[in-house]
Amino acid sequence: MVRRGGAGRRSQLANPFGGYGRRVAIVNGLAALALCVFPASAQQPVRLLVLGDSLVAGYGLPKNQAFPARLEAALRKDGLNVTVVDAGVSGDTSAGGLARLDWALGSPPPDFAIVELGANDGLRGLSPAAMEGNLDAILTRLKARGIPTLLAGMRAPPNLGRDYAAEYEPAFERLARKHEAILYPFFLDGVAADATLNQGDGLHPNARGVEVIVERILPYVKRLIGGA
């Protein structure tokens, strides 16, 4: 009886696909498959900084309805492990964004960045050349740190006239080309001037408007993250 039991155990251990050996082989195989499908880097959240003004900060909205929160939710819904870092400050100009950039980068630094600034420069009629210089400095610092960036463009307020718009609007395309950044031409695409998608001031998107922005910019953000 003992001899047969010992032989059975020897046979079981000698066969890697039987008993305990089989269970080990299956577990190891599944672990290897998981590493192939989900590499180790994918297990760590990607940090995406969004540097912007009230359009990012979610003026007039609960925090969970603001652009950073809704963008993070959309990315995670699509299976992307991304933490969106909200660096939006209402009323900020391009100069303000540049002044607080080092603080916004923080620790740990982001893996990617979205820059959405310039709307308040336009609303205040500030120099488009100065705005371009500020954004240029922001993109230069991000590039020097090896942080791939998406630049969100903006349109000039129509009341400032064609000459202002002709100087203001092309700045975003020039900067994106210079710094090899992904350009999203107009952050408020599909939302601007639509009363059903904006709050009472006609400037800031409501919750539905934010969802439209997220839906439209999402392919660009995926390209930013996937392209790296």
How many CA atoms, within 13 angstroms, populate the side-chain half-sphere of residue 223?
11
Q: Note if 11 is an active site residue.
A: no
Look-up: residue for tokens 């006239």? 161
Q: Cα(173)–Cα(187) distance, rounded to whole angstroms?
A: 13
pLDDT at 15 over 60: no
Enter the tokens of residue 27.
């577990």
List 47's β-bridge partners, or say none.
83
Q: What is the pLDDT of residue 24?
A: 35
Nearest CA-CA partner of 56 in 182, 154, 172: 154
Enter the tokens of residue 160.
């400032």
Cis geometry, peptide bond prior to residue 108 (ω within 30 degrees of 0) = yes
The angle at the Cα of 169, spanning 163 to 175, to the nearest 5 degrees, equals: 130
CATH 3.20.190.10 fits 44-227, yes or no: no
Q: Which of 92, 121, 179, 204 is catalytic?
A: 204
3-state secondary structure of 59: coil
DSSP code string of 131-151: HHHHHHHHHHHHHHTT--EEE
Q: Note if 179 is an active site residue.
A: no
Domain ranges of the chain: 2-37, 44-227
Q: What is the pLDDT of residue 216?
A: 98
Q: What is the pLDDT of residues 21-58, one digit of tens each?
A: 444 343 344 334 333 333 434 468 899 999 999 999 99
Give the mean model confidence (pLDDT) for residues 134-152: 98
Q: What is the pLDDT of residue 227?
A: 54
Q: Cα(186)–Cα(205) distance, rounded to whole angstroms?
A: 14
Q: Which of 53, 54, 111, 121 is catalytic?
A: 54
Nearest CA-CA partner of 218 in 94, 71, 9: 71
pLDDT at 138 over 60: yes
Of the pLDDT bands very low, low, confident and very high (cuts 50, 70, 90), residue 8 is: very low
Give the mean model confidence (pLDDT) for residues 87-103: 97
CA distances from 30 to 16, 36, 40, 55, 99 (A): 16, 10, 15, 45, 50
pLDDT at 14 over 50: no
16-20, 68-72, 139-143: which has the minimum mean pLDDT?
Answer: 16-20
pLDDT at 2 over 50: no
Give the mean model confidence (pLDDT) for residues 3-27: 42
Q: What is the pLDDT of residues 172-228, one digit of tens each?
A: 999 999 999 999 999 999 999 999 999 999 999 999 999 999 999 999 999 999 954
Q: Note if 201 is an active site residue.
A: yes
Maximum distance among all Cα pairs of the chain, rounded to whole angstroms? 100
Q: Cα(111)–Cα(225) distance, rounded to whole angstroms?
A: 9
Enter the tokens of residue 168.
């203001």
CB count in 10 Å sphere of residue 135: 26
Enter the tokens of residue 167.
């100087």
Q: Cα(61)–Cα(206) distance, rounded to whole angstroms?
A: 7
More confident residue, 170 or 45: 170
Q: What is the pLDDT of residue 107?
A: 78
Assess contact for 112 and 147: CB atoms under 8 A: yes
Of the pLDDT bands very low, low, confident and very high (cuts 50, 70, 90), residue 106 is: confident
pTM for the whole structure: 0.81
Q: What is the pLDDT of residue 9?
A: 43
Please, what is the average pLDDT of the chain?
86
